[in-house]
Every structure is written in C-alpha cells, then in structure tokens.
Amino acid sequence: MTATAPSQKRAAPAPSDSPDGADGGARSGELAGFGYQQELRRRMGPYASFAAGFSFISVLTTVFQFFALGYSFGGPAFFWTWPVVLAGQLLVAACFAELAARYPIAGAVYQWSTRLATPAFGWFAGWIMVIGRIVVVGAAALALQAVLPAIWPGFQLVGDDPSPTSPSGAANAALLGLVLLALTTLVNVLDNRVLTVVNTVGVTAEITGVALIVALLLTHAQREPSIVLETGGAGTGALLVGAFTAAYVLIGFESASEMSEETVNPQRTAPRTTFTALTTSGVCGGLLLLGGLLAAPSLSDGQLGADGLSYVLTSTLGDGVGRLLLADVVVAICAATLAIQTSATRMLYSMARDGQLPYARALSAVPARTGMPAVSAVVVGVLAALLLLLNFLSPEALLAIGTTCIVMVYLAYAMVTGPMLVARLRGRWVRSGALDETGRPAFSLGRWGLPINALALVYGLFMTVNLAWPRAEVYDPNGGHWYFQWFSLLFVGGSLALGTAYRLFLRRRPR
C-alpha cells in the first residue's frame, strides 16, 4: 500500500478476510482508521443527508421526464412496474445500508466493492459507476426540456416543436442542459454550505410540490383507480419496457453514503437516510403516476404517451396553476442535477485520492478555503456537457443516454451485492457486533442478510439485462440508427475496454 505524495493520502486497504465492521475506524467513524485524512468538511445533519439521496432520485424530475415512455409502451398497467421495481431497489438499499454503517467513506460503491472483493474488481466497479454517474448528470439536465417550454414558449430556443423526441426539441434540450450544468458546476466548486442550502431548499420545494400536484390530480380524477388494471393491449415485453420509468427514477439512494465524509455521525445517519430517501421517493412517485393516470383528459388521444405529465397538469389544472406547479418541477430538476453531479464528484475524488485515475493529484485536490474537490466537479460537468452534444445528432439520443446511465448504475450495484453475497456464503461476513459513533449497534440485516442479498443480486442482474437489451422499437423506432439501438451495450463495452487499457498500459507511466 503506497501513499500518493505529496498529500500522503493512502490507498484503499485490501479487502479483509472478515468484513465485520471492525475495519480500522469503523467504530468511531473517523477516516484515520481507514487510512485517509479528513479533507471534506463534516457539516451535514440528518435532513441534509436525506436531501442528498432524495434530490438524486428526484421523482418530479424523473417521473416528468419518463412518464410518457412508460405509458406509451405499457398503457395504464405500467403503474404496476413501479411497486415491483421499488421492492427490488429496497433489497439493494438494505445491503447498502449495512455497508454504509461499516464503511462510511466517500466513493461508496468503489470503496465497498474493493473491500468485499479485490482492488482490481473494486476499481472496475468504481470506474463503471463514475462513468454512469456522469451520464446520469447529462440525462437529468436534459429533463428541463420536458417542462420549461410548457411554462413559456420562449424557452424553446431552437425550432418550434418542444417534444424531446423531435429534432428541434432534442437540440433545445441540449442547450438548456448546458446552461444548467454551468450553474451546478459553479455551486459544486464554491462551498459545501452553499451546496447544502441549495439541496435542502430544492428538496423542501420538491416535497411540497409533489404533495400539491398529487392532491390536485386526485381531486380532478376523470376515472376510477381500476384503470391501472388495463394494459391497453400491452404484453409482458411492453411492460418490461414500461419498467424503464421506475428503473430510471429509483436510483441514487446511496448518495447519502457518498456524502458520509461530510455527514455528522455517518454510520448512524447514512443507513437511515438511504431507506427514507428511497421509501419517500417510492411513495411520492407512485402517487404521481396514479394521479396522472386518473386525471388525464384522455388515455387514447396519444398526448399522454407523447407529452406525459406536463400535458396532464396544464390541460387539467389550467395554464395558471399548471405552469406554477411546473415551475416547482424546474426547481426539482436543478436540485437533482446538482445532487447527481455532487455524487459523481465524490466518486471521482475517492478514486483519485487512492491514485487510481489519471491526473489523480489534481482530481483529489481539496482547497482548504472551500473544502470541495473543485477539479473533479469541473471534470464531471464538462464530460456531462460533451455528452449532451449527442442530442444534436438525433432525438433518439435522449432515450439512449437515459437508459445507458441506468444500465451502468445497475451493473455497478451488482458489483457490490455480488461480492457481498460471496462473502456471506464463505462465512466472511459477521452479521452483527459493530457499533456506530454513538456506541449503539450499527445497522445490520442479521439472519435476513443472506436471502435479502441473494434476491438483490438476482433482481439487479435481471434489470441490467432488461435495460440493455437492444430493442429496435425502443431505441431506434424510426430505423437507420443502429448505433442507438446498440448504444447501451456499445457504451458499456467501450467503457470496460477503456478501463482495461488504462489499467494495463497507461497507469504504468510516471504521474
């Protein structure tokens, strides 16, 4: 284990033969026990930790962005894909909560996989996750197109068709996204007090907005809840595509763990906020889906499958109220993009701190004045911005970007739950006994750990395959863009090839 001079930040320890939570400073939560210095500022309380996860998931951002996709394939019955995906993600969250209580370190997936498996395996998990997170940042920024032109036509800067699936809508989405990324990058280099305030305000506004939107939609219901039993002719395959909406929304709950080094009492706080962020988002999102289906003026005129919830709000509640609520959605989108970029930045910082990336010293630098890894934040912002340029090529890029990011995230999740299951089966996982910072027992699944872990892995692998499957009717509906049909597999394969090339050749060069 070598230090990365001049900061003397030590590389991540090799995995222990008994990952029992007694790893170094696991009881006190101090980073020194894990071989790191405290550089990020530890100021976040429980609500700010919850905000990190809830903002990443951001049901207002993602449901508004992908409602139309789910409905267009699955019909009203696509609603049932939501509780199924939520149940699967709760299994994964349970595993992650147990890990968060034992390893409260930034770069959660990378750190956990490294300790559960091998340093090389952990590196690839981190590599896949950091790239996936950068793609998620770009996808979240594109969500503005689903809302801003509906508030005011002047936000349509390119052409006259605001639909994100049209050429002009896709190009305009890229322009709006670039502006948003410039703002979120600025906040991510300033100070974590500013970051915490923006996230907290954003989450509060989003929860308030969800409550108002759901209440108004339910009071303007046009049909009975039994409508969710109608498939509209959709078969099992269509419902698997309809599950994309829930799969895209319900990720990022581990962001509370990514912020562990900035959280007070992270071993006690992060596991709780992981669950609360996911369950709160699950309930809010499910109610939004149900409200949209019940209040839509029509389920058969094609508009619900094209414009989604924005169409429901403005047509059902009137332009005034509808646009006011859509403005709240804009706040949620901005907070979500900020939170996702912050999470990606912490992952990049954590890997660079261990000397595991090119230009590691610059990427892991944390100015004492701000306590923020500014270079990492700028790199994430620039790479996400470059990804948005794909939208100028074709409107199919929006869906390709959205599904690719969740394929990468689900794959990285499996690279944690997989080694964790192996550790349990080999008797290397002690079920309880660790203490948190307060001296109380740390979160543990106990005897339920093995079945929950196994189900989490099976679910994660199934969803990864489902999301990456190259369905022409989904990824290339107009034909002529084979690279979009195979985009997810090509992107994952290219990322793995690039990572392998770096580990075999480039990292041997002097830094």
**Each residue's pLDDT tens digit, 418-430:** 999 999 999 988 7
Report CA-CA distances (Å) from 427 to 122, 441, 446, 455: 20, 20, 13, 18
Q: Which amino acid is at 227?
A: I
53 has a pLDDT exceeding 50: yes
- Tokens 């007694």 identify what position? 22
| Residue 10 backbone dihedrals phi, psi, to 5 degrees | -80, 155
Report CA-CA distances (Å) from 97 to 186, 266, 443, 457, 482: 31, 11, 7, 15, 40
Confidence class for position 511, pLDDT limits 50, 70, 90: very low
Mean pLDDT of 375-382: 97
Instruction: For CA atoms 35, 39, 44, 50, give the dihedral sign.
Output: negative
25 has a pLDDT exceeding 50: no
Here the tokens at position 54 are 């809830």
What pLDDT does 333 receive?
92
Reported in sequence order, the residue ranges of 111-184 that DSSP labels E, i.e. its strands, are none
What pLDDT does 126 receive?
96
CA quadruple 335, 408, 44, 38: dihedral, nearest 10: -140
What is the pTM (predicted TM-score) of this model? 0.89
Confidence class for position 18, pLDDT limits 50, 70, 90: very low
3-state secondary structure 60-113: HHHHHHHHHHHHHHHHHHHHHHHHHHHHHHHHHHHHHHHHHHHCCCCCHHHHHH
Q: Summarize pLDDT for 118-142 with one digit per residue, the tens.
A: 999 999 999 999 999 998 999 899 9
| Residue 299 backbone dihedrals phi, psi, to 5 degrees | -100, 0
What pLDDT does 508 receive?
61
Report CA-CA distances (Å) from 80 to 229, 290, 453: 9, 10, 23
Q: Is 505 exposed, middle or buried (0-12, 13-18, 19+ CB in 10 A)?
A: exposed
What pLDDT does 2 receive?
33
Q: Which residue has the higher pLDDT, 61 or 122?
A: 122
> Which residues neighbour 242 within 8 Å (Cβ) at sequence distance 6 or greater?
69, 70, 71, 73, 74, 75, 77, 78, 81, 234
Q: Summarize pLDDT for 211-231 with one digit per residue, the tens.
A: 999 999 999 999 999 988 886
Q: Is 169 exposed, middle or buried (0-12, 13-18, 19+ CB in 10 A)?
A: buried
Q: Summarize pLDDT for 83-97 with one digit per residue, the tens.
A: 999 999 999 999 999
d(CA 283, CA 430): 33
16 has a pLDDT exceeding 80: no
Confidence class for position 380, pLDDT limits 50, 70, 90: very high
Q: Summarize pLDDT for 202-213 with one digit per residue, the tens.
A: 899 999 999 999
Confidence class for position 435, pLDDT limits 50, 70, 90: confident
d(CA 104, CA 49): 13
Q: Determine which of 7-21, 67-81, 106-120, 327-341 has the lowest per-residue pLDDT on average.
A: 7-21
What pLDDT does 150 receive?
86
What pLDDT does 234 receive?
64
d(CA 186, CA 101): 31
d(CA 30, CA 105): 9
Contact 257, 274 (CB under 8 A): yes
Confidence class for position 24, pLDDT limits 50, 70, 90: very low
Long-range contacts of 441-449 (CB under 8 A, 24+ apart): 442/21, 442/26, 442/101, 442/102, 442/267, 442/268, 442/271, 443/97, 443/98, 443/100, 443/101, 443/271, 443/272, 444/98, 444/101, 445/94, 445/95, 445/98, 449/95, 449/98, 449/424
Mean pLDDT of 173-189: 95
Instruction: For CA atoms 402, 232, 77, 314, give the dihedral sign.
Output: positive
Query: What count of residues does the chain have?
Result: 511
What pLDDT does 120 receive?
94
d(CA 105, CA 369): 22
Q: Which residue has the higher pLDDT, 195 or 374?
A: 374
Q: Determine which of 311-315, 413-417, 490-494 has the lowest per-residue pLDDT on average.
A: 311-315
* 51-82 exposure pattern, b = at least 16 Cβ within 10 A, e = fewer: bbbbbbbbbbbbbbbbbbbbbbbbbbbbbbbb
Q: Summarize pLDDT for 240-249 with one digit per residue, the tens.
A: 988 999 998 9
